[in-house]
Amino acid sequence: MASLTKPEPRGGELRLGLGPNAWQFALLALDNVFVGMVVGSERTVVPLLGQQRFAVGSLTVLLAFIVAFGVVKGPLNLIAGRLADRWGRRPVLLLGWLCGVPVPWILLAAPSWGWVVAANLLLGANQGFAWSMTVTSKIDLVGPRQRGLALGVNEFSGYLGVALASAITGFLAVSYGLRVAPFVFAGVVALLGLLLVAFIRETTPHVRLEVSHRGHDVRAAAPSLGHLFALVTWRNATMRACSQAGFLNKFSDTAVWALVPIAMAAQGYRVGVVGVVAGLYALSWGSVQLLTGWLSDHVGRKPLIVAGLVVNGAGLLGAAVSHAELAWIGAAITIGVGTALLYPVLLAAVSDVADPASRGTALGVYRLWRDGGYAAGGVVVGVVASRLHPSGAFLVLAFLLLLSAGATLWWMTETHAPQPRSSVKGLAT
């Protein structure tokens, strides 16, 4: 196990920062492209597969595959963080890929919708373990000064993968059908992601280095899980703000994942056009994060988080009234940009406040709440859409995002004010 009390490995002096760790950072970014492509392969195809191949008529039943994904991914984010602080990052990353490799092949052979839902339990485990570790490992490598940039790159790489896979599987579905080619593609991607882990190194030695820079005792007892859960969930107002913002943002993502394909198909759009819209949503989300993560290192975290919630809500309002193809594209890009404004910045804010020695667990608690939004959002979106139709569901979700912006403005204290490059700022938990 990669305990924080073990001695430093031999073979060169460790340094924090993007430059000294560029190669490992790049490998982690590439691996997260593959993580994103595995989940992105579902974005266009699976909702339509449920309607057209398995004749799922109920929106609530159809969204069960997202609920299953969130029910597993949320708690496993927490477990992944705790295991990462005890075992190290790389073993948990490997475990995530071992869970992910079977998913496309189960979807390919699924004889019923229940098998699709079951496959998404494994997909949730893959994302909970693997994506969590690419996040945490990059934070370990760069240290506090470039944290926003690192998280922007991480989320960019993951959602670039989501965008690419959404568009590619849409094209494959048009050319070769919904069932075979998209999932064979996803299966190859998952195997490549697993193989890449062989070249990725453990990053917990960098955590020990950061702890020593802060003047903390690396042998100090780690806080209990219960203490950290309470801290991130409600005791610390800033972390509470981050947790609820991440939670409700996933309601929005659930709507784009499931409702946009259904609403567009009901308006007569073909699967290829749906794939383009889904891909542009993920691409705008992913690409803009390169800027927003870096920007938060210079202007602070809070303004971007609040703005992201407001812009996200505006995009959902646009989706509620969309009929023309350009309107759908505009709404999807607006939602993507809104999410990009807040997504890596929320992770950076929690990392600012958390103690480095227990950062994996603190991030796990935050991501438990954030990705728990998939499970809750799947239920809420399904129930509301079945009563109010997709347009009404988009309106309700927009209102919730605007409420979240107000709560964040009230609760959150800025965690990363601009500071001289010569100092290292440690924030109390």
Ranges of the chain with pLDDT below 50? 1-11, 218, 419-429
What is the identity of the amino acid at 115? W
Distance CA 326, CA 130 (A): 35
Distance CA 59, CA 141 (A): 43
Cα dist from 205 to 94, 256, 357, whole Å: 18, 39, 11
Distance CA 389, CA 320 (A): 10
Per-residue confidence (pLDDT) for residue 8, from 0 to 100: 43
Q: Where are the domains of the chain?
A: 23-200+224-411
Closest CA to 223 of 4, 1, 2: 4
Given phi > 0 = left and psi -120 to 50 = alpha, else beta, which region is 177? left
Tokens of 65: 């595959």
Looking at the chain, how many residues does it have? 429
pLDDT digits (tens, 9 = 90+) for 224-245: 888 999 999 999 999 999 999 9
HEC string for the chain: CCCCCCCCCCCCCCCCCCCCCHHHHHHHHHHHHHHHHHHHHHHCHHHHHHHHCCCCCCHHHHCHHHHHHHHHHHHHHHHHHHHHHHHCHHHHHHHHHHHHCCHHHHHHHCCCHHHHHHHHHHHHHHHHHHHHHHHHHHHHHHCCCCHHHHHHHHHHHHHHHHHHHHHHHHHHHHHHCCCHHHHHHHHHHHHHHHHHHHHCCCCHHHHHHHHHHCCCCCCCCCCCHHHHHHHHHHHCHHHHHHHHHHHHHHHHHHHHHHHHHHHHHHCCCCHHHHHHHHHHHHHHHHHHHHHHHHHHHHHCCHHHHHHHHHHHHHHHHHHHCCCCHHHHHHHHHHHHHHHHHHHHHHHHHHHHHCCHHHHHHHHHHHHHHHHHHHHHHHHHHHHHHHHHHHHHHHHHHHHHHHHHHHHHHHHCCCCCCCCCCCCCCCCCC
Per-residue confidence (pLDDT) for residue 51, from 0 to 100: 83
CB atoms within 10 A of CB 18: 17
Radius of gyration of the chain (CA): 20
Q: Which CATH number fits domain 23-200+224-411: 1.20.1250.20, 3.40.50.1370, 2.170.150.70, 3.30.413.10?
A: 1.20.1250.20
